[in-house]
Amino acid sequence: MFVETTLLLKTMVILSAQLSVVLGGCFYFIRGANKAYTNDSTFFGMSFKGSMNMKRQLDLIPYFKPPLEYPMKMFKSVEEAYNPETRQLDSAYDDFKEAQNRAEVLQLFKDGYKYAHDDGWLAFIYILWAAALFGTVISASTGINIYIGMALFTFQSIVFGPFLGLIMLEMDENDGYKALKIVFLVTLLTGFLGYSDIYSFSENTFFAVFLLFSLLGIIIVEFIRAIRGLSRKAVKAKAVFGAFIFSLFLLFDFNLIAKGEDMANNWDSAFQLAFTIYLDIMNLLLDILEAMDN
């Protein structure tokens, strides 16, 4: 005879497992980078150089070593620009050239070119992660099959872990560890306040509408950033606002668990809620990392 469990426990079992997979992949990547730096080798095709941050802590910087043989393939990203002849915007593109000797390499550097690296595997893995994440969203939204949904959820967590490690290395892994601690504390606090049902956050229409329009605003700002770019101050302001909003989303979603204990205490609901809270936590973490990045 099976022991009946709460919706909170079901949700936390799924959520904890997925977060463990992500953090495991993240720490594995950072540990591999440290070993590669110590042994002067490569990890995932990348090399790493060390620097000291303001607190005299080791900060690893990932980079691709330049090719050693000629001809050297180089490229320059040409941004979207207005063409006065056609009176239209020319699309952005990558311009590739080959340098036959050192003099040509130096000249191409002056023209804004960089070494071209075989990092297609990174784009391939990113596409796999995006596809798995999209599949998980569809599965959680429609409730088609929890087993397929869990498989996709787990796969995207496995792939996202190393990406998170790379993101932390790109800024400063020491700040990344601080961001993880902040997210952990925020999740505990919002979980306690939301689930204890001190206030019915999930039943407040104004609160729900505020979160919806705030999320739409964040998405619009991200589109503008992708197309036209934003100043560093604007990016930081967006990150701080995003961290605040996703903290409120955690309050809302943990309160949903409390409201669903009697009406939706099943594994399908737990899967949907766990995935929703997972997205809240990951977005909160990414916004905090962006706000801390200098």
Tens of pLDDT, residues 102-137: 888 788 888 877 766 666 667 788 889 999 999 999
Concatenating the DSSP letter of every residue in 34-92 gives HHHHHHT--BTTBEEEEEE-TTS-EEEEEEPPPPSSSSEEEEEEEPPEEETTTTEEEPP
Backbone angles phi, psi at 35, to 5 degrees: -65, -40
For the chain, the residue count is 294
Among candidates 53, 76, 50, 72, which has minimal Cα distance to 62?
50
Tens of pLDDT, residues 31-67: 999 998 888 888 887 888 888 777 788 888 887 777 6
Give me the helices (H) in the chain, please. 7-39, 102-110, 120-142, 146-171, 173-195, 205-228, 232-260, 267-292
pLDDT score at 3? 52
Whole-structure pTM value:
0.83
State the amino acid at position 238 in one-letter form.
K
| pLDDT band at residue 184 under the 50/70/90 scheme | very high
